[in-house]
A and B are shown apart, each in its own frame.
Chain A
C-alpha cells in the first residue's frame, strides 16, 4: 500500500470528506425519484416474469420470462437491496426503504447481511483474517494465507460458489472455518442457523414450491424458469462482487498495519483495496453501481447512482496523493480475477517461478 504520513492522511480525509459533504448537501428529490424508478422497474419485471413463466412451454416466452425474473432479482439485490441496506436512502424516511428493516429477495437474511457485509466487510476491508469476504474462506487469493494442497483444486470451489452464490452468502455467517478450527461451537451458531432456515426456506418455498404449484399443469417449466432466474442472478452478482476486491491490483492488509487506524488510513485502505470496471449505463445499474466499487467503499452510504458523478473527483484525489485508482474494462478486470484464483491455487514456489518467467525482460 502507498505509505502516507499522518499529515497526508489527514489531508486525504479532508479531501474525501469534502466530496461527501457536497453530495449530502445536494440529496433530495432527484435521488428519491431515481430509487423509486428502480423499484417500479423491479416490480414491473418481476410481475412480467411471473406472469409469463407459465407460458414458458413456448421457448421464446421461456427465455423472456426467465430473463425478466432474473434481471428483476439482479436489480432488487444489487441496485435496491444492497444499497438500501447500506443506509443510502435512510434520509428519505420511507419505512419501505429503511436500512435496518429492509429484507431482500435472496437467501441471506437482511440482518445477517448487515452484520457480515455492512459491518465486517466494510470496516475491515481486505484485512486478511478479519475481512471474511476475502476469498469467502473457500478461496486462497493472496500469499498472506499459507498454501495447502486442497488449494490446487480451488477453481472447483470457485465454480460451486458462483453457481450457488445466494446459498453461499446465506451461510457466510456460519463461519465454517472457525467451526473447523474449533474456535466456536455449533451450539453458538444455533440462532443463526434458525434464521438461515427461516429465510432460506422462505426463498425456496416461493420460487421452488409456491409458484410452480400455483401453475400445476406447467409446474416443471415454472420450476426450471425460477431456478434459471436465480442462477442468472447468482452468476452475475458473484462476478460483480469478485471484480470489486479480487482483481490483480487490489491490495490486502495485515491486522497490525490497521490497528488503531485513523479515518484517513481507513480511506486509504478502501481506495487501494477496491477495484472498478467500466461500461455503459445499464452495466452500472445492473451491478448496483458496484462497478464503482472504489467510490462505494469510500462512501458506502451515499446513494450509489451518485458514484459516476463523483468518480472524476475521487480520481483527482487519488492522483494528488499518488494512490493507484484501479479500473479497467469489465472483461479485463474479470480476467485478472480468474488469473488470481488460478495463480494462488499453486504453491508459492511454483507461482513465483511462473510469474518470473512471464515478467517482461528488463532492458
Chain B
C-alpha cells in the first residue's frame, strides 16, 4: 500500500505530464470558476457571507474559506487575491476575528479601510458583495499573543486595530489572566472601528483597560504623549504591541525606549499606505536578487538586467529592448520605472521586464 504522500506525489507527477502545468490541480480552474468559484484550486477560494459597514470608510467582510484552508492564530494576516479590471492583485490584511469564530462556524473577518487612491481597497468597498468569491492565502505573521500570559500594552492607530480586535476577543474568551491595556488612536470619534465591540469587551473582560483617543477633534492635534504611558501600571513589565500609521509607531518607539522598554518587548506590524511614487528624478537603489541571494546597489538609469549582469548573474534575456519578454521575471517588492513608457510600477508583487525596468529605491526580484 502506498503512503498517501507517495500517492499525492505520483498524482501530481501524472497531472504535470498530462496538463503541462506546474500546478496541475488548477488546469480545470477556468471551467470550474464558471460552475462554482468555490471549486477553484489555484488559491483557496473564500465566499463573502456578509459585509458590515463599520465607519464612513471602513467595512468588515465576513468570509467563509473553502475547507482546505489551514486556519490562523490571533494577530496573523493573510494575502487575498482578486482580479481588478483583468489584473490579479494581491494584498495583505490582518484578520480581525478570533480563531474561535473560524473553529465554530468556519468564518473569518477582514476589516478594511478605504485607502485614498488604493486600487484594491476601493474596489473591495465598491464592488465586493455578499456571495462573491475572492482568493485567500494561508495565514502568516508573528504578531502573536504572549504565551504564557504576561501583561500587555496595545498601541493601535486607525485600521491598525484589526489584529488587536482578533487578539482581544481571543484573550477575553479564554480569560487571559494578566492586565491588558489598549490605547486606540483615531482621527475623530466617527473613525472608531468596532467601537461597540470594544466597549462590550471591556465591560465583560475586567482585565482590559480601554482608552480611545481622538487626535483631531481639537484645533491642536492630540497625539500619543509620555503621560499616556506613564499612567499605565507596570509599564516596564509589559509586552508592547504596535500597529498603526508610521508616525504613531515612530512616536511610540521613541517614548517607549525613553522609558526603558527593551526592543525585544516591542512587537510591531506596519499599516501605512504606500508612499506616493515620485515621477522622474531619483533612480537607482539597492537591488536584491532573491533566488541568487545577491544584493547590490545601483545608481542612475541602469536597468535591472544590467545591474544583475554587473553583479555576475546571468538571468535569461533576449532582445534587450523590451520586445521579447525573455527576461520577464517576478518583482517581489519595490518600485521600478519602465524605461520605455516612463511608467512607475506599484510597490507590490508583479511581473517586470528586467531590460527596461529601472529601480527607484530598494527593489527585490526573483532572479
Contacts and interface: CB of A to CB of B under 8 A. Distances in A.
A45 to B, nearest CB: 11
B317 to A, nearest CB: 8
Nearest to B22: A101
A301 B17 contact: no
Contacts of B177: none
A90 B18 contact: no
A119 B351 contact: no
Interface in A21-50: 21, 24, 27-33, 36, 39-40, 43-44
A79 interface: no
A123 B324 contact: yes
Contacts of B22: 101, 103
Interface in B65-116: 83, 85-89
A336 interface: no
Contact of A100 (B42, B89, B323, B325): B325
Given A32-B86, A40-B34, A210-B18, A90 B318 contact: no
A107 to B, nearest CB: 11
Given A86-B325, A87-B325, A93-B351, A122 B319 contact: yes
A43 B27 contact: yes
Nearest to B31: A43
Contacts of B316: 100, 114
Nearest to A36: B30
A99 B23 contact: no
A335 B350 CA distance: 45
Interface string A180-209: 000000000000000000000010011000
A95 interface: yes
B314 to A, nearest CB: 14
Contacts of A105: 20
Contact of A44 (B18, B20, B31, B88): B31
Nearest to A30: B86
Contacts of A301: 323, 325
B253 interface: no
B332 interface: no
B296 interface: no
Contacts of A115: 318, 326
A134 interface: no
Contacts of A98: 328, 351
Contact of B87 (A91, A95, A205, A263): A91
A325 to B, nearest CB: 21
B26 interface: yes
Contacts of A90: 325, 328, 351
Interface string B298-331: 0000000000000000001011010111101100
Interface in A89-130: 90-96, 98-101, 103-105, 114-115, 118-119, 122-123
Contacts of B87: 28, 32, 91-93
Contacts of A86: 324-325
Nearest to B353: A87
B328 A100 contact: yes
B290 interface: no
B88 A43 contact: no
Contact of B319 (A21, A44, A123, A210): A123
B190 interface: no
A300 interface: yes
A32 B33 CA distance: 14
B29 interface: yes
A39 B30 contact: yes
A29 B325 CA distance: 22
Contact of A202 (B17, B30, B86): B17
Interface in B143-175: none
A90 B17 CA distance: 24
A211 B22 CA distance: 20
Contacts of A101: 22
A103 B34 contact: no
Contacts of B23: 95-96
B295 interface: no
B145 to A, nearest CB: 34
A94 to B, nearest CB: 5
Contacts of B83: 32, 92
B328 A31 contact: no
A122 B321 CA distance: 12
Interface of B: 14, 17-18, 20-23, 26-31, 34, 42, 83, 85-89, 316, 318-319, 321, 323-326, 328-329, 341, 350-351, 353
30 contacts: A28-B87, A36-B30, A39-B30, A40-B30, A43-B30, A86-B325, A90-B325, A90-B328, A91-B87, A91-B351, A92-B83, A92-B86, A93-B89, A93-B350, A94-B88, A100-B316, A101-B22, A104-B20, A114-B326, A115-B318, A115-B326, A118-B324, A119-B319, A119-B326, A123-B318, A123-B323, A123-B324, A206-B17, A206-B18, A263-B321
Given A101-B22, A210-B17, 11 more contacts: A24-B341, A32-B83, A32-B87, A40-B30, A43-B28, A93-B88, A98-B351, A103-B20, A114-B318, A115-B318, A119-B319
